[in-house]
Amino acid sequence: MKNIIAVYVRELRSYFVSPIFYILAFVFLLVMGNSFKDSFFNFATQTAQYLVAMTNYGGTIPLININHVVSRMFTFMNFLFLLIVPLLTMRLYSEEKKNGTMELLMTSPITTTQVLLGKFLSCLTIYVIMMLLTISFNIIMMIQSNGKLDWGPVFSSYLGTFLFGTTLIAIGMFFSSLTENQIVAAALTVTFLMGLWLLIFTSRLLSPPFNQVIRYIAISEHLDSFIYGFVGLHHITYFLSMTTLWLFLTGITIESARWRQ
């Protein structure tokens, strides 16, 4: 445990002394803020139009839920993390290889698993910090809706985004362990993650039972239920299994390199 904490602190410090975290966090909040503004104003405009129509022509106003803004926000945020996480994970092993410190890690008394978990938890911490920065948007919606915001889907969405992040980071670490070039690691990760994200559209072209298999593998299929407030055990199992699988594959890759030394 002591070795894991040592690696964790070392990696976390490297994020904060590097400009990449601050740049990514700034861009993330800027893009998210602009998207939230557009979604919220569209919601407000639509609500005002219904109220005017009801006043002029009578009738009842359709049920409009402020949580529609929440669902759009989380859908966009998850897609954004699909592009940002590879930039956070690309250096985890690639930088070690490029700087020649990988050999030092492999010959040190610290085990492959301890290094792996330390790096994983440090990147996950950065991910959680960025994710929690968006809480202010939900507070704004709660204030503007006079407390009518349903926090159930908000909390489940954050849970889904967290589990989604563990899988993204594990996959990113695997590709980072394959090459010493950080750009190549990021490109491979983005390409693979986009494939998992868009795989859901492929399922529509297949017939049962193949379409069901593809739908289960598609990562975007497991996010929707969290966004709409449904926390399914099989969705949690999917993310935990994917995270464990890719961390295991990363460990195997690093361990095989250790034995070749």
The token duo for 19 is 């400009």
Higher-confidence position of 52 and 121: 121
Rounded to an integer, what distance in angstroms lies between the CA atom of residue 115 and that of residue 105?
A: 8
DSSP 7: H
Rounded to an integer, what distance in angstroms lies between the CA atom of residue 177 and that of residue 95?
A: 10
pLDDT of residue 119: 93
What contacts 159, CB < 8 A, 6 or more positions away?
A: 226, 231
In the numeric block, the tokens 């945020």 are attached to 77
pLDDT of residue 56: 61
Question: Average pLDDT, whole number, for the chain?
Answer: 84
Percent pLDDT > 90 in the chain is: 41
In the numeric block, the tokens 């202010």 are attached to 136
Average pLDDT over residues 203-215: 76
> Per-residue pLDDT for 63 more than 50?
no
Rounded to an integer, what distance in angstroms lies between the CA atom of residue 13 and that of residue 121?
A: 12
Q: Whole-model pTM above 0.95?
A: no
Higher-confidence position of 133 and 40: 133
Higher-confidence position of 125 and 218: 125
DSSP 187: H
> Per-residue pLDDT for 61 more than 80?
no
